[in-house]
Amino acid sequence: MEIKVKEFLKSMWELFEYFAKRWKVILNSLTSLRDYKVSYSLSPTEKRFMYQNINISQQIRLPKNFEIELSGWYNFPYFEGPNIIKGFGAANGGLGKKLNHDKGTLTLTLPDVFRSFIVPSHNGGMTPIAFNINTTSTWRDETDLFQVVKLTYSRSFGKNTKSVNYDAKDEERDMVK
């Protein structure tokens, strides 16, 4: 029993090492405390709120020069003028293949995989506006209406390697001449 546990733990550690060498995760967040003043509405008002945006990107290198990328972002609710914008975000996916002998890269991308890029807002939600307009609306990105699939081929032209030799002593000798 003890040998099986050790073998299992060893195989799990090897699996972790395998992915750790090939997996890259980037997490960014913008967070700020904002004092917001609306002075041009029917009843001027001030609000203090926390604004936050989160972005995450994961890249996984696979055998045979394949790579998977998963990314996403989310904006938490915030104020814009006298309006309240509710939280919204999207998740993206992609698969890439580096072609052999510097022949380029072929990429298949699926933006907004879950078709969730929808921005709900409440006009006049923070403070009443002219004519007592108090409406809610929803803006939809085209990726919410239709699944977008993007196939891209890219290639660098020219040589990828260029070496520059610079020697300050040679430059100084040329100045003295």
Position 163 in a domain: no
Instruction: Return the bridge partners of 139, or none.
Output: 119
Q: Does the pLDDT of residue 160 top 80, yes or no?
A: no
Domain count of the chain? 1
Structure tokens at 32: 């700020």
Position 177 in a domain: no
Structure tokens at 37: 């003043």
| CA-closest candidate to residue 36, choices 23, 27, 49 | 49
DSSP 105: E
Structural domain including 111 reads 25-158
Position 102 in a domain: yes
Position 34 in a domain: yes
The pLDDT score that the predictor gives to residue 169 is: 67
Q: Does the pLDDT of residue 71 top 90, yes or no?
A: yes
Q: Does the pLDDT of residue 162 top 70, yes or no?
A: no
Give the chain's mean pLDDT.
87
The pLDDT score that the predictor gives to residue 145 is: 86
Structure tokens at 113: 């995989």
Position 18 in a domain: no
CA 139 to chain centre: 21
The pLDDT score that the predictor gives to residue 33 is: 93
pTM here is 0.73
The pLDDT score that the predictor gives to residue 1 is: 63
Strand segments, DSSP code E, in 39-134 are 45-62, 66-75, 78-80, 83-85, 88-98, 105-110, 118-123
Position 166 in a domain: no
Position 141 in a domain: yes
Position 96 in a domain: yes
The pLDDT score that the predictor gives to residue 135 is: 92
The pLDDT score that the predictor gives to residue 42 is: 79
Answer whether 93's CB lies under 8 Å from 109's CB. Answer: yes
The pLDDT score that the predictor gives to residue 177 is: 62
Over residues 78-128, the pLDDT tens digits come to 998 888 999 999 999 999 999 998 889 999 999 999 999 999 999 888 888
